[in-house]
Amino acid sequence: MSRRRRNRAMVPGSEQGLALLKAHVMQNQGYDVNPQQPDLVKYEVARTLGVPLQQGYNGHLSSEDAGRVGGPIGGAMVKELVRMAQQQLANKRPPQP
The letter for the amino acid at 85 is A
pTM beyond 0.85, yes or no? no
pLDDT of residue 92: 81
pLDDT of residue 11: 86
Distances from the Cα of 75 to the Cα of 61, 81, 95, angstroms: 20, 10, 33
Question: Which residue stretches of the chain are H helix?
Answer: 15-28, 41-49, 63-92
Please work out, in degrees rounded to the nearest 5, the angle formed at the alpha carbon of residue 96 by the alpha carbons of 95 and 97: 115
Tell me which of 91 and 5 has the higher pLDDT. 91
